[in-house]
Amino acid sequence: MAEAKFKPGERVRVVKAYPAGHVRTPFYIRGCSGEVERICGAFANPEELAQMRDGLPPQPLYRVRFRQRDVWPDYAGPVADVVEVEIYQHWLEAA
């Protein structure tokens, strides 16, 4: 299993990339910065599984918390509102 690079509380940014194929990183969150809420464990990479490969080594999976204002600059609700998304490690970089 790949080692977990980030710890809860650390700032991370989602890679802004647009690869073809089956990807579990939603478009709206690419390029956004947030904070690691927890490490969910490590799982076979779904992008590889979709290609009938084994997806190993397992990729650490994080829940990342984003402020809505950082995701949608015109978000109409309170500043405190957040959205949390599960992101695999290879989609994250230190922010």
Partner 1 sequence: MKDAGKYRPLSYFQLMEVTLRELLVEKGILSEEQIDAEVENMRSRTPERGARVVAKAWVDSSFKKLLLQDGSKACESLGLDLPGLKLVVVENTPEVHNAIVCTLCSCYPRMLLGIPPDWYKSRNYRSRMVREPREVLKEFGLMIGEEIQIRIHDSTAEMRYLVLPMRPRGTEGWSEDRLAGLVTRDSMIGVALPDSPGKTA
Which spans of this chain sit near partner 1 (rule: CB under 8 A)?
Answer: 24-26, 28-29, 40-41, 43, 46, 61, 63, 65, 71-72, 75-78, 80-88
Peptide bond into 19 cis (omega under 30): no
Pull the structure tokens for residue 25: 């990183």
Q: Measured from the CB atom, is 13 or 24 closer to partner 1? A: 24
In the complex, least distance from residue 60 CB atom to partner 1, rounded to whole angstroms: 11
5: which residues sit within 8 A by CB, 6+ positions away? 60, 89, 92
In the complex, least distance from residue 86 CB atom to partner 1, rounded to whole angstroms: 4
Q: Measured from the CB atom, is 10 or 84 closer to partner 1? A: 84
Please report, for residues 27, 38, 42, 64, the alpha-carbon distance to residue 33 in angstroms, rounded to integers and kept in the order given.
Answer: 14, 15, 21, 9
In the complex, least distance from residue 1 CB atom to partner 1, rounded to whole angstroms: 14
